[in-house]
Amino acid sequence: MSSPSSSLTKIIEEYIAQLLEEDSEGSVSLRRKDLAERFGCVPSQINYVLRSRFAPENGFLVESQRGGHGYIRVIQLNFKNCDEEVVHLSDLVGNAITEQESRRLLVNLQNRKVLSPRERLIIEVSLRNQEDNGRTLFDVSPYRRDLMRAELLKKLLTSLALG
């Protein structure tokens, strides 16, 4: 059974998603305070929804302006061409990525229909830490492994985006 805060998170997420769908440009400006009042929660709950549900790996950018009339702008990312998508994916991966972070990113890309379930699984398996009886097969530091994983992931995603 889900907790009350998780259902509130879902309700807030669905509300913002609905506003984005209604906007022809794929962006919406909101005030954190207004949302908190509308849903009877604290502004930090709104922050949580924005960070967890509207993050770049989920296909969104969130811009905010603080102050008396501060707003939050949620922008749904739409790429005009493959090159823009490749740059975005490369930025998401960064220079190093852990196995867990790469799995989370791949699941998000599958949810956004950037990857098929089969493509996600193939990439995920290729990025796993290879172990044999509890020993790592490649004798490199965890940091070096994360660097190598990031490079491989970028190459795989680029080849899929351009292919």
- pLDDT of 162 reads 66
- pLDDT of 117 reads 94
* DSSP codes joined into one string, 84-114: HHHHHHHHHH-S---HHHHHHHHHHHHHTTS
Give 84's contacts (C-beta < 8 A, 6+ positions apart).
none
pLDDT at 136 over 80: no
Ramachandran bin of 128, using left for φ above 0, alpha for ψ from -120 to 50, beta for the remaining angles: beta
Residue type, 64: S
How confident is the model over 135-162, as a mean pLDDT?
Answer: 82
Residue recorded with tokens 């906007």: 23
pLDDT at 45 over 50: yes
Q: In degrees rounded to 5, what are phi and psi of residue 77?
A: -75, 130
% of the chain beyond a pLDDT of 90: 26
- pLDDT of 147 reads 92
Give per-residue pLDDT as tens, 6-40.
689 999 999 999 998 888 878 898 988 899 999 99
How confident is the model over 137-144, as a mean pLDDT?
Answer: 77
* Average of per-residue pLDDT values in the chain: 83
- pLDDT of 163 reads 66
- pLDDT of 137 reads 54
Residue type, 137: L
Give per-residue pLDDT as tens, 69-114.
668 888 887 766 667 777 878 888 889 999 998 998 888 888 878 8
pLDDT at 151 over 60: yes
Structure tokens at 125: 């398996």
Quote the CA–CA distance of 95 and 149 in Å, as a whole number: 9
> Does the model's pTM come out above 0.75?
no
Residue recorded with tokens 């984005």: 20
